Structure 1
């Protein structure tokens, strides 16, 4: 256990700083806070438990999250969070794609990393997406045909949604679908955006292999709308071991787990 630094913040100061950290990042990790404050991880754990009892935060596996089920930072803000972890997840996902495959990719910060990694592989194939950032990332690869869904443009996510989007996707068959989510529990993935949840369901319905991409900071988080049960996905790619209850649920549904660990 690291010794407490003489200039380490007091308990009240730590609580204020934990809440301040969550205004910019929807999840914070205990290990990172302990290093920042110069105190033990156990001390921060007690801080998070105290704030959880007050209803100010939600305890997650290895950290804390905001309590609002229908709130998350916009795409540009999320793109600056857990970058290394999402890059690894994206690379592991792209490695599943075979030459000539048809791939559906939904909108989000993690799926954008998939698109970049896929373009870097130089494969031939077809990508269907509702995301402008995914389409732009894939368009630099001459071998990738990019089909951009129609729909109503939603600027904060740089993506299109709505009935036209869902109907368009229903007309295709895909080898793989890569989907992000705001949170993941034993009940399945969930999202803060209802419009995004409907598009994700449309992709799940049309792909043979359905790959969920979430970093471990989202474990234990249940957001506004449940996308589907775990039985709807075939794979989970993440950057850390799931907590026991989630791991057991994944095993029951035979979801293939891939941990994209640091080299």
Structure 2
């Protein structure tokens, strides 16, 4: 079966950008188990070295398996599990959790996504609960790691765990039951994670997680994206939403200057350990 041709102008393939080309490669691997460098270079009318760089970038993001002369699809369970991602997290990831927790106020209803960076929110929510006291917060999450990180908060907060299909690799639940449950609530704020963020939006390698993130965003007044600096200028398997769907981004280090300008123009807030 021939490769999909993503863009046409008559019988001539048009040149497309790097991110669109990489997305087209991922789409091709959804249909065929292996792609070759030479075939892709001819299809996209670019040099073989350009395709090799595309494949290297996709492999570095854990989206494909690099092979001699090409690449093969990497199944979702090939992604490192939550514990492995937490153990290899960048040093500043704790600061992301601390900054996020400072945005939560007494009485808030908070939706919290699953993921290695978002899970850093748990301990700081637990600590802030002790300091703040008073009016209880309602914390709704699909991630057991978040709840475990909070410690014993039963006397300070109402913690609501979503139903759904349990994924032991992510220590979280997903599926239609999770989404339907989330849509029963209204939240003041949602915290979500992503595998990548670029000028055209943010994305994730786990397709089941994308639907949960979108449901949380739909039901919250404000959405904050928690990502470390390594996620910038990366594009993962499935798009979650464009940047303007966000209230703000919490990260450890300042992103590139052109990206900061884009966020400022779009009215998206930026919080980092280096200063806001």
The alignment status of 1:57 with 2:52, answered yes or no, reads no
Q: Give the structure 1 partner of residue 141 of structure 2.
A: 129
Q: Give the structure 1 partner of residue 188 of structure 2.
A: 175
Aligned partner of 2:176 among 151, 158, 163: 163
Provide the rounded CA distance (Å) in 1 between the counterparts of 2:62 and 2:213: 23
Which residues of structure 1 form unaligned runs of 5+?
A: 1-50
Q: Give the structure 2 partner of residue 68 of structure 1.
A: 63
Deviations 1:57-76 (A, max 9, x none): 329xxxx9446266632101
Q: Secondary structure at the match of 1:227?
A: strand
Could you tell me the TM-score, scaled by structure 2's length? Answer: 0.70
Q: Give the structure 2 partner of residue 258 of structure 1.
A: 271
Between structure 1 and structure 2, the one with the greater Rg is: 2
The alignment status of 1:188 with 2:201, answered yes or no, reads yes
Ranges of 4+ aligned residues in structure 1 off by more than 4 Å:
none
Q: CA distance change for structure 1 residues 146 and 155 in 2, over 3 Å: closer, same or farther?
A: same
8 A contact 1:52–1:58 mirrored in 2: no
The alignment status of 1:113 with 2:102, answered yes or no, reads no
Could you tell me the TM-score, scaled by structure 1's length? Answer: 0.73
Aligned partner of 2:152 among 140, 162, 169: 140
Q: Secondary structure at the match of 2:260?
A: helix
Which residues of structure 2 form unaligned runs of 5+?
A: 1-48, 65-75
The CA RMSD over aligned residues, in Å, is: 2.2
Provide the rounded CA distance (Å) in 2 between the counterparts of 1:97 and 1:67: 33
Deviations 1:146-193 (A, max 9, x none): 100011111110111011101110010111101111011011110001
Provide the rounded CA distance (Å) in 2 between the counterparts of 1:52 and 1:244: 25
Task: Note the C-alpha offset of 1:243.
Answer: 1.8
Q: Give the structure 2 partner of residue 211 of structure 1.
A: 224
Aligned partner of 2:93 among 86, 104, 108: 86
Larger mean CA deviation between 235-244 and 97-106 belongs to 235-244
Q: Give the total of aligned pairs.
A: 208
